[in-house]
Amino acid sequence: AQTVTQSQPEMSVQEAETVTLSCTYDTSENNYYLFWYKQPPSRQMILVIRQEAYKQQNATENRFSVNFQKAAKSFSLKISDSQLGDTAMYFCAFMKGRVSGGYNKLIFGAGTRLAVHP
Amino acid sequence: ETGVTQSPTHLIKTRGQQVTLRCSSQSGHNTVSWYQQALGQGPQFIFQYYREEENGRGNFPPRFSGLQFPNYSSELNVNALELDDSALYLCASSSASEGLGEQYFGPGTRLTVT
């Protein structure tokens, strides 16, 4: 069974600074995807960034980037130039690679609460 | 924001009652997944529907059931409510044939069981 672990329950950062959120996972699969989702106080889960396990290049989306270490089963999220609107819960999630006709559930970590201070 | 909508926003029920939650998927998406998010925890997978049939299920008892309609919208039904069913219920839509199958979430329904 796959598991996702986020070891930092809470993090805080000053506006405009950089913060890194940690995530490790356990799987015997070779084909899988990893995601970071953001859940602000409004509750809606928003996809921040995604990474295909077969790609060696780390994904980047504007101020958000990941450090994907497949051998170490580590998938950290770096937020650069933090903004007040980045304040939210951040969830790391794992999904097995697509199988024709099969289902694809997300397995989430417990989350990291990030507070961005002015 | 995603194109996924859920209703109602909040709901209060009494233990033993039954509840139905609704979800409209994003345009072009044919798969709907339901998750339960207890307070302070990450979402837990309940089940997924594809082509109007349950396509996979997490570790939830049979009193959690669902439906998917021809327009890909979906319902989650919970019978014999228990106090521990109090949670945020999230639905997520995805495409079985496009992209990575990444899931896009609705705003959730907050269920309180008293």
For chain A, state the CA radius of gyration.
14
- Contact state of A46 with B2 under an 8 Å Cβ cutoff: yes
Best mutation target, A103, A107, A112, A113, to test chain B (most B CBs within 10 A): A103
- Residue A102 clears pLDDT 70, i.e. is over it: no
Which tokens go with B51? Answer: 């082509």
Distance in angstroms (rounded) separating the CA atoms of residues B21 and B9: 9
Closest C-alpha among B30, B28, B27, B62 to residue B48: B30
Computed over every residue of chain A, the mean pLDDT equals: 93
| pLDDT reported for residue B27 | 84
- Contact state of B2 with A44 under an 8 Å Cβ cutoff: yes
Higher pLDDT, B95 or A47: A47
B11-64: pLDDT as tens digits: 999 999 999 999 999 888 889 999 999 998 999 999 999 888 998 899 999 999
